[in-house]
Structure 1
Amino acid sequence: MASVEHCLYCFETLAARLEDRTPLTLSEVQKSWAEYARSSSATEADDTADESDKLAKRLPALTRVTEASSSSSSASSASNSTLSLNPDTPGTSTSSIPAEADNDDDADPALPPPITESPLFVTWNAFSTRHGEYHLRGCIGTFEAQPIEHGLSSYAIISALEDTRFHPISTRELPSLEVAVTLLTDFEDADDEMDWELGTHGLRISFVYHGRRYGATYLPDVATEQGWTKEETLVSLMRKAGWVGKKERWNEVPLNVVRYQGKKKTVEYAEFKKWRDWVDAQ
């Protein structure tokens, strides 16, 4: 599925184009994000420790309890340093993990291999202070499998600057943006126009009406975000394709329906900017 790094790379690509600079590569983004995440975790841990120290100084009785607990924990940690740690357990520190865990040969074989190519869509939304919510600013993608780095960089720019439904995104709009990346999987021919699930499947339809061929797609999250039923989704999708027939007669048009899946990841500009400032400071 899509990742934070994929979204950051889209922001990086667009920002670099608008600011006339060379963007970081996807591998550079992935490496720096990992370092940034570790640094942020360490900072948060230090802040928590500082707060505990301040509280202990205010409460002498608590200080004695804390010192006793600390001594007990140190002894326990020393006797269990080789135990496998659960990364979801609060207080787990990477310093307790044996150095061999960083070796690629020790990677969990149960984890899926990194995604190297995929059909994908890049969506840009802009926050409206007037309405207090995000609205669409561009969304373009491809059903042809793309090398991830090339596909993300290409469609980050295309959807931001070349979606003909909107004017191109400008530099001043960057702070209002969020980006969503969706990697598409599990393409299947539906048995009929209702052979799909709301919230699970995206749809790609095609049909012929009055001798003309039409086609359009909605990503998996569109119908649920709009609160549509299956019928409303199909009618809206036919309208998107350009169909102008009577709404109540939509099911008289033979539809070819392909369903697919895809989990999107979304990142707001504020998160991108915080990471990018950290990169610049290194």
Structure 2
Amino acid sequence: MATAEHCLFCFEVLAAHLEDRKPMSLAEVQKSWAQYIRSTGTEAAADDNGATASNTKFSKRLPALHRVTEVSSTSSIASSSASDSTLSLGPDTPATSEEEELDPSSPPTPPTSSPLFVTWNTLSPRHGGHASLRGCIGTFEPQPLEEGLSSYALISALQDMRFSPITPRELPVLECAVTLLTDFEDAADAFDWELGTHGLRISFYYHGKRYGATYLPDVPVEQGWTKEETVVSLMRKAGWVGRKEKWTDVELDVVRYQGKKEKMAYADFRRWREWVEGKGK
């Protein structure tokens, strides 16, 4: 699952880039955060939801992972919804390094690599901290966490084509969210998934052209959509221009997945950073 340290590291990478300095490593951030928590009595923001090891067999996850990576990133269309995310895909994505069924009685092992998304939001003080999307890009290809988080923290902040690059003056109103993707499964149909639990990756052919798009698990809930509204919106995001009532005529390839998400506001990062600068790494 994603952790507070992952969000902290993304902030560190972005801030260091904007300030033209060398960022701390993920290991340094993790060690420093633990010391910070102990010395200040601050409670970590890590969420325990979804930490239970999956019982899903590799044989079931493998086809789903292959299917989500078959669609070229050029078929992912920038979305019109404020909660959407952009996808980066690798054509030769390895499914996973774990080939055995996990023991549900054993404690979960922190991942060293994972498919992931990094999301930047702008928090509005005038509207009770309402979050507006500022950038979100990720990949279904498993990434070593330090490399993946470092890369996508900057890519989503500076290269999301729907937005201008984030500037230093925006840092104080930013929120960072990290989602680690897990449990890829082929869905039986367009309704074989649960709101608030699963993200969706769809692909389909329309007039001889292949389309694809994804929504992270929190998007339908944030938008208040039903399952049908989610699927139709996702088809629109992919570029489908057919009549809304005809969406069931399109043969969809649907992969569901879960996302272990954590988020942090800049104010929390700044307090930790000031502690680091005062105490040393």
TM-score range, shorter chain: 0.7 to 0.9
Is 1:275 the equivalent of 2:269? no
Using the alignment, how far apart are the partners of 2:196 and 2:267 within structure 1?
A: 28
Q: Secondary structure at the match of 1:113?
A: coil
Q: Does 1:161 align with 2:167?
A: no
Which residue identity lines up with residue 113 of structure 1 in the other structure? T
SS in 1 for 2:155: helix
Aligned residue identity for 1:36: Y
- Measure how far apart 1:131 and its partner are: 4.5
Cα distance in structure 2, aligned partners of 1:190 and 1:206: 12
Aligned residue in 1 for 2:256: 259
Which of 103, 115, 119 pairs up with 1:119? 115
| TM-score, scaled to structure 1 | 0.75
Ranges in structure 1 where 5+ consecutive residues have no aligned partner:
44-108
Q: How far apart, CA to CA, are the structure 1 residues paired with 2:228 and 2:106? A: 40
Structure 2: distance between partners of 1:236 and 1:165:
18
Which stretches in structure 2 are left out of the alignment for 5+ residues?
44-104
- TM-score, length-normalised on structure 2? 0.75
Distance 1:231 1:190 in 2: 15
The number of aligned residues is 217
Greater relative contact order (CA < 8 Å, ≥ 6 in sequence): 2
- 3-state SS in 1 of match to 2:242: coil
Q: Which has the larger radius of gyration?
A: 1
Q: Is it true that 1:152 corresponds to 2:149 in the alignment?
A: yes
CA distance in 2, matches of 1:33, 1:240: 38
Q: Distance in 1 between matches of 2:30 and 2:194?
A: 33
Structure 2 CA distance for partners of 1:30 and 1:249, relative to 1, 3 Å: same
Q: Which has the higher helix share?
A: 1
**Selected match of 1:221 from 218, 221, 224:** 218
Partners of 1:164 and 1:138 in 2: CA distance: 9
After superposition, the Cα gap between the structure-2 partners of 1:42 and 1:12, relative to the gap in structure 1 and judged at 3 Å, is closer
Aligned to 1:2: 2
**Higher mean C-alpha deviation, range 127-136 or range 191-200:** 127-136
Report runs of 4+ in structure 1 exceeding 6 Å deviation. Answer: none
| Cα-to-partner distance string for 1:27-58 (whole Å, 9 max, x where unaligned) | 00000000000011289xxxxxxxxxxxxxxx
1:250 aligns with 2:247: yes
Q: Does residue 1:31 correspond to 2:31, yes or no?
A: yes
Letter in 2 for 1:189: D
Q: CA deviation at 1:281?
A: 0.2
Label 1:207 to 1:42 Cα distance change in 2 as closer, same or farther (>3 A): closer
Question: How much identity, in percent, do the aligned residues show?
Answer: 71
Pairwise CA RMSD? 1.5
- Which whole-Å CA distance do the structure 2 matches of 1:269 and 1:129 have between them? 13
State the distance in 1 between where 2:28 and 2:125 align.
Answer: 34
Tell me how far apart the structure 2 counterparts of residues 241 and 212 of structure 1 sit (CA, whole Å).
11
CA distance in 2, matches of 1:239, 1:229: 15
